[in-house]
Amino acid sequence: MDAVIEKHAEPASPSALARRTRIGAEIRRRLVAHLAAGGTTDMAASTLQFGGSVYTDPARFAAEKRELFGNTPLVAGLSGDIPNPGDVILFDLAGPPILITRDKDRQLHAFLNVCPHRGARLVTECTAQRRLVCPFHAWTFDLDGALMAIPGREGFEGLDPATRGLTRVPVAEWNGLVFVQATPGEASIDVEGFLGNFAPELAQLELGAGQPVKSGVLEARANWKYVLDTFGESYHFARLHNQTLAPYFISNVAAFDRFDRGYRVAFPDVGLRALVGKPEAEWPPTEFAAVHFLFPNTILFIGSVVPGKWYIQVFRLFPGDSVGTTRTHFAVYAPRDGADDAYRAEVAQAYDATAHVVMTEDYRVAAEAWDALSRSPGARVVFGRNEIALHGVQQSIAQAIDMPLA
């Protein structure tokens, strides 16, 4: 069974939950059909082959850092990471140190986290701030970046404070997602224009309802794109995850939808086998669960820790200091309303279990593969038709940096 490669989303319905439930039911129906057909999966029209240098070339790596991580909107977090006036987010992984604030009117601002006096790092911890006070000489700034006070003002006679505010960085908040663009400037971010027909699919997730539970940084000794590929297919579950994920999820079966440069993919749990041949009226209620890719580097997973208890996983992958290193910021979220301590503890346990599998299995194999590719000039890789999500990701990255896959 072949997937439709391009899917145009309909406008968001008045009820995000109703829309999400309906789409979740459609996805489940497709997955059960694959299982009924003997374990088929959505597929691309053909395989995709290209040189291993796509993952190892320093020139390509430099272009990705410049175009994708300097000039493209990036997810800096969820609204739940900065819910109240005075809250801040520190965002350093894209290159320049960036500070995001929420002011008393609940508006977001973003700046280079650099004092315009002598370049000191202005904020070093994500604690609530009434004012931003430089730890070096106590220059003081409002949450909107304006310079409010200079100790020893007489030493700076003739300096116009209005010209020494913090350097602005584009920022936007949309449906629970916080975006920044790492190149300083006054430009705005057109989130819906950036997301295209993926926007309604993300809006229905109600990410603004998420409250952070646990986060950390996962390191990989592999190129960021190779690491990113591991999130988009279940073909490897039976072998690589034979003791961890394979007992719970069916390998090499997926329902895939592409939306401009993003995608949504769902993998069936083993419980769906019981629905094969059973009238749909007898199926249990649908619980939406799917992986979403936001170009260029973010994976969102919406699912349940146990039936009836939803949570969010967010993976944001960033290139390290060299072409063969990756830093992944991984965070999990529980509902802001209705999640007691026991519920949050289950979500924290899900973080620990996921991080363990990612580090000891996915990132271990990615590091071994990248090392082999980096020492094998002329090596080539091939994406199978069943690895459909990976095709579009690598093609979109290549197009964005104007360096074709070859």
The boundaries of every CATH 2.102.10.10 domain in the chain are 82-187
Distance CA 220, CA 232 (A): 17
CA nearest neighbour of 82 among 213, 211, 214: 211
Q: What single-letter DSSP state applies at residue 359?
A: I
CA-to-CA dists, residue 164 to 145, 159, 248, angstroms:
9, 8, 57
Question: In angstroms, what is the C-alpha Rg of the chain?
Answer: 23
Distance CA 256, CA 266 (A): 7
Return the half-sphere exposure (C-beta side, CA atoms, 13 A cut-off) of residue 172. 18
CA nearest neighbour of 50 among 399, 288, 309, 378: 378
Per-residue pLDDT of the chain (406 residues; tens, 9 = 90+): 332 233 333 333 458 999 999 999 999 999 999 999 999 999 999 999 999 999 999 999 999 999 999 999 999 999 999 999 999 999 999 999 999 999 999 999 999 999 999 999 999 999 999 999 999 999 999 999 999 999 999 999 999 999 999 999 999 999 999 999 999 999 999 999 999 999 999 999 999 999 999 999 999 999 999 999 999 999 999 999 999 999 999 999 999 999 999 999 999 999 999 999 999 999 999 999 999 999 999 999 999 999 899 999 999 999 999 999 999 999 999 999 989 999 999 999 999 999 999 999 999 999 999 999 999 999 999 999 999 999 999 999 999 999 999 9
CA nearest neighbour of 278 among 38, 29, 23, 42: 29
In sequence order, what are the beta bridge partners of 150? none
Residue 21 belongs to what H/E stretch? helix 16-36
Distance CA 4, CA 1 (A): 10
Composition of the chain by helix, strand, coil, percent to 5 = 30, 25, 45
> In the prediction, which pLDDT does 15 show?
86
- Alpha-helical regions (H) of 204-340: 224-229, 237-240
Residue type present at position 370: W
> In the prediction, which pLDDT does 14 show?
54
Distance CA 173, CA 73 (A): 11
The boundaries of every CATH 3.90.380.10 domain in the chain are 16-66+198-401
Distance CA 387, CA 384 (A): 5
CA nearest neighbour of 19 among 7, 11, 31, 28: 11
CATH class of 16-66+198-401: alpha beta
Name the CATH superfamily for 82-187: Rieske [2Fe-2S] iron-sulphur domain (2.102.10.10)
